[in-house]
Structure 1
Amino acid sequence: MHFLPEKLDQYVVAHSQDEPKLLQQLTRETYQKVLQPIMLSGPYQGRVLSMISKLVRPKTILELGTFTGYATLCLAEGLQNDGTIHTIDINEELIDFQRAYFNRSNYGKQITQHLGSALDIIPALDTTFDLVFIDADKPNYVNYFHLIIDQLNAGGIILSDNVLWHGKVIEPLDEKDVSTKAVLAFNKLLKEDDRIETVLLPIRDGLTISRKK
């Protein structure tokens, strides 16, 4: 979803950091071999994720929703040299695809893949996090927040994707639309929870940055 006029959006992308070649290859193969390639973060948002990670310099990152690993590699660019990123996805068919690109990057040994439900895996992770990226099933966004907030270090950052949900957040609500209801509830939670401070950025389909106080 693009909320800027196309020409202005193209100007923004053209004057931002270029996408690394490995990620260009990952994008090409995703479009060739994987269903719903639109789920990729894409070059512009990927550079945003990379920049935020580099500013935070996290020791530990948690990613909910790996897909083909594009955002994983962007976030990994900011890891400390001895840092780790835990990435969780439920799609068993993509595990080998992800690992192939992780191993071709400079961060393969720092990336730990988890297969299964994040609701089950998160409580079993015996660590705290400096940076969390939520980009998974929308109906569980609120549940994910409640699971991770106590494992997020003070000053830690939560990045939440798709929070404008194709613009549906400002349209009349269809009571049967579970995902839009979930995104609306999640955005309200981020605004009102006094443990964090939040700013919503109109980047692509909406990206929220929340900082734990």
Structure 2
Amino acid sequence: MKAYLLDSAVARYVFEHTTPPDPLLEQLEKETAEIAGENAAMQISPDQGRFLTMITQLMAPQVVVEVGTFTGYSSVCIARGLSGGTLHCFDISERWTSVARRYWHEAGVADRVTLTIGPAKETLATFDQTVDLAFIDADKGSYPAYYELLMDRLRPGGLLLADNTLRRGWVADPAHEETTTVEIRQFNDLVIADPRVSVLMLPVADGMTMIRKN
């Protein structure tokens, strides 16, 4: 459970009052922890997974883009929320996404997902569909580039979600100058200054920002 920004008792209460992940997602979380070591921290939390499923169900999108798939937890959650349409995943790792592919099949959502391997700054540039919903959870220094590529393709009223935007709360401390924190802080400043969008930052897990194209 990622709850960097909440009191531990409140975090436990939230967890206990959120629909829990099913055995397949629990197994994916466990397997990721076993094979990825410290990289397992890149996986979203169960409450974020539930949030992604519900947002997808509410929006009923036809075209969804995910930048940063890792072992597939978020993509399973998004794909499960689809009532039609396709989730297009962009990642650079054959190793980690091979796990995702297996879980897409086990979850019965493989027919809803396409995967493109390669640098997303290049592969997204050739993506020629109008996007309804997007989720960014990849290398933080490239968030501004992914954001612009997706904004060019996002429909009016479309939603872009960006993960890790509170960086354990460090973004609010000007004295904290660790590279990733600075990159996220710069991305947050870019988004809030963009007249094309409306923004809501949620203090869930490591921070998730909802960005709606006006």
TM-score, structure 2 normalization: 0.94
Alignment of 1:59 with 2:55, yes or no, is no
CA distance in 1, matches of 2:92, 2:21: 27
2:179 aligned residue: 178
1:70 aligned residue: 73
1:16 aligned residue: 18
- Contact between 1:56 and 1:78, CA under 8 Å: does it hold in 2? no
Aligned residues: 211
1:130 partner SS: strand
1:163 partner SS: coil
CA distance in 1, matches of 2:41, 2:180: 17
Q: How do residues 84-163 of structure 1 correspond to structure 2 at under 5 angstroms?
A: 84-163=86-165
> Match of 2:70, as an amino acid?
F
> Match of 1:182, as an amino acid?
E
- Contact between 1:142 and 1:182, CA under 8 Å: does it hold in 2? no
> Match of 1:89, as an amino acid?
D
1:6 aligned residue: 8
Gaps of 5+ in 2: none
1:77 partner SS: helix
Moved over 2 A (4+): 172-175
2:152 partner SS: helix
> Match of 1:202, as an amino acid?
P
Residue 141 of structure 1 deviates from its aligned partner by 0.6
- Contact between 2:67 and 2:91, CA under 8 Å: does it hold in 1? yes
> Match of 2:34, as an amino acid?
Q
1:86 partner SS: strand
Alignment of 1:50 with 2:53, yes or no, is yes
1:54 partner SS: helix
2:205 aligned residue: 204
Listed one character per residue, the Cα deviations across residues 150-208 of structure 1 (whole Å, up to 9, x for unaligned) are 10011100000000012220223455x33222211111111111111000010011000
> Match of 1:198, as an amino acid?
V
2:89 partner SS: strand
> Match of 1:66, as an amino acid?
T
CA RMSD of aligned residues (A): 1.3
Gaps of 5+ in 1: none
CA distance in 2, matches of 1:111, 1:34: 23
CA distance in 2, matches of 1:107, 1:173: 44
CA distance in 2, matches of 1:76, 1:158: 16
- Contact between 1:196 and 1:212, CA under 8 Å: does it hold in 2? yes
CA distance in 2, matches of 1:92, 1:18: 29
Alignment of 1:193 with 2:176, yes or no, is no
> Match of 1:135, as an amino acid?
D
> Match of 2:117, as an amino acid?
L
